[in-house]
Amino acid sequence: MRIVVLTGAGISAESGVPTFRDADGLWEGHSVDDVATPEGFERDPDLVQRFYDARRRAVASVVPNAAHHALARLERAFGDELLVVTQNVDDLHERAGTRNLVHMHGELQRALCAACGARPVWDADLEPRPPCPVCGERMLRPDVVWFGEMPYDLDRIEDAVVACDVFASIGTSGSVYPAAGYVALASACGAWTVELNLEPSDALIPFDDARAGWAGELVPAWVDELVTARG
Ligand code: OAD
């Protein structure tokens, strides 16, 4: 049974990572236009670098919660039949043990060199500007996909969504495309669709099974069901 799990900020909320849309469109007091667009970075690169430096440090001080651990358990049961696609830029899925994982919106713990395109693993601050370890230019930015930029690995994700038997959406408001469109694609291709979220999302089509509540409770219970059914 092939499973695709799409995760969003809600799965990391109980670890202490703030979600995006629960704070009036402001993100730690900054507008999305200022800190999550290429134009915002052009206007004030130092502000944007400091913003993501703070996010990177904050994520280093939190730990995965029961929902991340449950998805790692699902991977141990289903192996390569499971693909986790996360919109999150934190590394909590990896730290819980998930390996078959796509970070479609990038990773806080990588830098992206605007000069040579390298994407080195990065756990230090990017302000003041350090040199790129590959080309030496001081043009590193966070490897985070901003509004107006192309998410990563779309072909791989779409192939998996089209082929899956179960599609689950966890902790995402369903308001940012292309991720928000995957439930409709999975459903059109015959998958059973499940939503585990604090509240019903903005999805274009209803899920076959929609459960409202905390990811830290809903996800372990759902994983138990799948693992038990597999026997
Ligand atoms: P949002 O902040 O838009 O949505 C988070 C969802 O999680 C909401 O529907 C909440 O109800 C739900 N939620 C909050 N706490 C929860 C909990 N403890 N358990 C379960 N659900 C909970 O975040 P995303 O959907 O991830 O993109 O946002 C999508 C994208 O928009 C992000 O990846 C980012 C952002 O702008 C980019 O940076 C490109």
Dump pLDDT digits (tens) for 173-226: 998 999 999 999 999 999 999 999 999 988 878 999 999 999 999 999 999 999
Give yes or no for residue 153 having a pLDDT over 90.
Answer: yes
- The verdict on the CB of residue 108 being under 6 Å from ligand 1 is no
- The verdict on the CB of residue 86 being under 6 Å from ligand 1 is no
Q: What is the pLDDT of residue 96?
A: 98
Ligand 1 pocket mutation pick from 197, 199, 217 by most atoms within 8 angstroms of CB:
197
What's the pLDDT band for 119 if we cut at 50, 70, 90? very high
Three-class secondary structure assignment of 45-84: HHHHHHHHHHHHHHHHCCCCCHHHHHHHHHHHHHHHHEEE
Q: What is the pLDDT of residue 171?
A: 97
User: Closest Cα to residue 66, out of 107, 18, 12?
Assistant: 12
Class of domain 18-61+106-144: alpha beta
How far apart, in whole angstroms, are the C-alpha atoms of residue 159 and residue 173?
A: 23
We find that the CATH architecture of domain 3-16+63-105+151-230 is 3-Layer(aba) Sandwich (3.40)
Amino acid identity of 220?
A: P
Ligand 1 pocket mutation pick from 20, 89, 146, 147 by most atoms within 8 angstroms of CB:
20
User: What mean pLDDT value characterizes the chain?
Assistant: 95
Which residues are identified as catalytic? 105
The helix/strand/coil state of 20 is: coil
Averaged over 137-155, what is the pLDDT? Answer: 97
What's the pLDDT band for 142 if we cut at 50, 70, 90? very high
Domain map (residue ranges) of the chain: 3-16+63-105+151-230, 18-61+106-144
Residue listed under structure tokens 């292309």:
178
